[in-house]
Amino acid sequence: MSSAPGTGASPSAAEFAAAAAAAVGGLAAVQPFGVVAVSRMTDRSWTGLAARAAGRPSPVGRRVPVARTACHHLLVDRGPVVVTDLHGHPDRALRSVAAQHGVAGYVGAALRGPDGQRLGSVCGYSGDRYDGAGALDLLPLLAAAADDLGRRLGRALAAAADERRAAYELARATSVDATGLPDRRGWAALLQEEDLRGRQLGEELAVVLVDVGLVRTVRGVRRAGQVLGEALGEDLVCRVGHRRFGVVVGETAGGHPATVATAAQEALRAAGYPATSGWAARRPGEGAAATWWRAEDALVTVRAGVG
């Protein structure tokens, strides 16, 4: 995908990503665990953002249900946590996590935002039991890294909405579309930027596409864009084809893509357009362009069923 002039990656997200990479590099040099990782944690998932791995698969880009992670169960307070052997932990849920992931020794600390909300983790783990060697030196380093990364991640997440809106307004200003909405070139740039932000911050990403049906006039297309804008509010609508509109749904940009698609479709039908919609959520390791094409496939499938 090519970018429109002036659009680019989020500075705060890029700053966090660089700090996370530096943190895992520094911690990996002084700790005995096979994997050192920084993650993003939500109420649904744990996503690896940066890691140094020796003898085990890297968790970068991997998304797992948060309840199936040691970080979720152990990092409930601000201080760092050490567990010598998760297989022998009194909590049955943790023993189950240890068996599923093949993890025994663990050390970790939560990344917290300004309000204390848990945003992620920095942790070390291995398949071997941890004998506690070097813990007195390691734990202060872990705590300092967690504090620094928590502040940076909190700033990046707080800035995401403003950065997204600024990029959208720039795409509108450079658009040549009759609706006044970002055109296909601006859409591609916004999608690319959202893709990168999602990878740096561990945000989920989805693409919603809406086909408004047969429209014979520019006025009709323009009115469809206005209806979508009014219906979706803060969701950023673009025109991606002759009769198609698109919305990038990021984790800090709206609700579930199915909800967005339904709201868009119902608003257009109420306004007299025979609209159909389709959506796709990004899969682990998938680029935003592939997600876009799967959304296209979903829309085509829906239209075929309607026809």
- Could you tell me the residue ranges of all domains in the chain? 11-156, 158-306
pLDDT digits (tens, 9 = 90+) for 192-219: 888 888 889 988 889 999 999 988 888 9
For the structural domain made of 158-306, what CATH number should be given? 3.30.70.270
Which pair of structure tokens corresponds to residue 253?
Answer: 């940009």
- pLDDT, greater one: 56 or 133: 56
| Region 165-192 average pLDDT | 88
Asked if 104 contacts 87 with a C-beta cutoff of 8 angstroms, the reply is yes
Question: Left (φ > 0), alpha (ψ -120 to 50) or beta: where does 202 sit?
Answer: left
Greater confidence (211 vs 136) lies with 211
Bigger pLDDT: 101 or 4?
101
CA nearest 10: which of 220, 250, 221, 179? 250
State residue 9's pLDDT score.
Answer: 60
Architecture of domain 11-156: 2-Layer Sandwich (3.30)
Q: What are phi and psi of 60, to 5 degrees?
A: -60, 125
pLDDT tens figures, 141-161: 999 999 999 999 999 999 988
For residues 37-43, average pLDDT: 95
Task: Provide φ and ψ at 53, rounded to 5°.
Answer: -125, 135
- pLDDT interval class at 69 (50, 70, 90): very high
| Strand-strand pairing, 45-53 and 35-41 | antiparallel
pLDDT confidence of 282, banded at 50, 70, 90?
confident
| Half-sphere exposure of residue 252: CA atoms within 13 angstroms, side-chain side | 18
Q: CA 254, 260, 263, 265 torsion: positive or negative?
A: positive
**Is the pLDDT higher at 82 or at 55?**
82
Residue 52 has pLDDT above 90, yes or no: yes
pTM, entire model = 0.84
| pLDDT value for 265 | 93
Structure confidence by residue, pLDDT tens digits, 243-267: 999 998 876 445 689 999 999 999 9
Q: What is the DSSP string of the chain?
A: -PPPTT----HHHHHHHHHHHHHHHHHHTT---SEEEEEEE-SSEEEEEEEEESSS---BT-EEEGGGSHHHHH--SSS-EEES-GGG-S-HHHHHHHHHHT--EEEEEEEE-TT--EEEEEEEEESSPP--TTHHHHHHHHHHHHHHHHHHHHHHHHHHHHHHHHHHHHHHHT---TTSS--HHHHHHHHHHHHHHHHHHT--EEEEEEE-----SHHHHHHHHHHHHHHHTTS-EEE-SSSEEEEEEETTS-S-HHHHHHHHHHHHHHTT---EEEEEEPPTT--HHHHHHHHHHHHHHHHHHH-
Find residue 123's DSSP bridge partners. 37, 108
Per-residue confidence (pLDDT) for residue 57, from 0 to 100: 92
Q: Is the pLDDT of residue 6 over 50?
A: no
Supply the pLDDT for residue 301: 92
In this predicted structure, what is the pLDDT of residue 234?
A: 57
Q: Which amino acid is at 70?
A: A
Least confident of 38-52, 62-76, 190-204, 289-303: 190-204
The pLDDT of residue 2 is 40
Name the band, by pLDDT with cuts 50, 70 and 90, for residue 8.
Answer: low
Lowest mean pLDDT among 71-85, 205-219, 239-253, 269-283: 239-253
Per this entry, what is the length of the chain? 307
